[in-house]
C-alpha cells in the first residue's frame, strides 16, 4: 500500500512539472471569413487590435508591447502590424479583440458588438488563464475562439504559446475555392 501511495504522490509531483498545454475551444469560422480579404486588409498595413481587461501587474502599454508583436508574427499568411493605435493605412472596420478571463457565457459576437451596458465583468482565476478572441468586421464576428492554459503572466513562454495558438485559430488559412452547398432546383 505504501508503494502505491508513493507512486501516486510521485505521479502528482511529476505532472505538476510538465508544462500545461494550451487548449482551444469554442472555435468558429463563419462563412463571411475569407483569407484573401484578410490579406487585403492587413497585407503590409496596420491592423487594429483591442485588449479587453488587463488583470496583470503590467501597464496597458506594456501588455500591448508584449502581445501585439506576438499576434503580428503569428499570422502565417501575411505580413502586418497589429496595434491598438493603427496609422492611416489600416482598413477601417476590421479588428482583432482579446478579452482576458472572459466569462464562459459570452462569445466573439459579444466582443464584436458589445451590449449597451458594456462587456460583462471578467472572471479572474488564479489557476488558469482564459483568453476569448474574436476577429471582427464592424459589429460582426468572422472568427472566434477561446484559449485556456495554466495560469501564466505576460512574458512567460506559456503565455506566448497561448497567444500564438489563439491567433492562428483566429486567422486560419482556408481554401477559397470551397464548393457552396446547393439544393435543387437551383443546382445544375
pLDDT tens profile 130-163 = 999 999 999 999 999 999 999 999 999 999 999 9
Global pTM reads: 0.81
The domain of 96 spans: 21-170
Domain count across the chain:
1
pLDDT tens profile 50-89? 999 999 999 999 999 999 999 999 998 888 999 999 999 8
The DSSP element (H or E) to which 187 belongs, if any, is none
Q: What strand order describes the sheet that includes 94-100?
A: 23-29, 140-150, 128-137, 94-100, 46-52, 81-83
> 39 pLDDT band (50/70/90 cuts)?
confident
- If you search the block for the grid coordinates 471578467, which residue do you land on? 122
Written as one string, the DSSP assignment of 30-71 is: -TT--HHHHHHHHTTSEEEEEEE---SSS-HHHHHHHHHHHH
User: Looking at the domain assignment, is residue 4 inside a domain?
Assistant: no
Is residue 51 situated within a structural domain? yes
Amino acid at each position: 500500500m505504501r508503494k502505491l501511495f508513493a507512486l501516486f504522490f510521485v505521479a502528482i509531483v511529476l505532472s505538476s512539472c510538465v508544462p500545461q498545454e494550451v487548449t482551444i475551444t469554442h472555435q468558429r469560422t463563419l462563412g463571411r471569413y475569407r483569407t484573401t480579404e484578410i490579406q487585403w486588409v492587413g497585407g503590409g498595413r496596420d491592423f487594429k487590435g483591442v485588449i479587453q481587461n488587463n488583470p496583470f501587474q503590467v501597464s496597458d502599454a506594456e501588455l500591448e508591447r508584449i502581445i501585439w508583436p506576438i499576434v503580428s508574427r503569428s499570422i502565417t499568411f501575411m505580413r502586418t502590424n497589429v496595434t491598438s493605435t493603427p496609422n492611416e493605412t489600416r482598413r477601417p472596420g476590421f479588428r482583432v479583440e482579446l478579452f482576458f478571463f472572459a466569462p464562459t457565457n459570452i462569445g466573439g459576437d459579444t466582443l464584436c458588438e458589445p451590449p449597451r451596458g458594456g462587456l460583462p465583468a471578467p472572471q479572474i482565476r488564479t489557476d488558469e488563464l482564459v483568453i476569448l478572441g474574436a476577429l471582427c468586421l464592424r459589429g460582426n464576428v468572422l472568427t472566434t475562439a477561446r484559449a485556456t492554459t495554466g495560469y501564466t503572466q505576460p512574458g512567460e513562454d506559456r503565455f506566448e504559446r497561448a497567444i500564438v495558438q489563439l491567433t492562428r485559430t483566429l486567422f486560419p488559412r482556408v481554401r477559397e475555392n470551397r464548393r457552396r452547398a446547393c439544393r435543387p432546383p437551383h443546382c445544375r
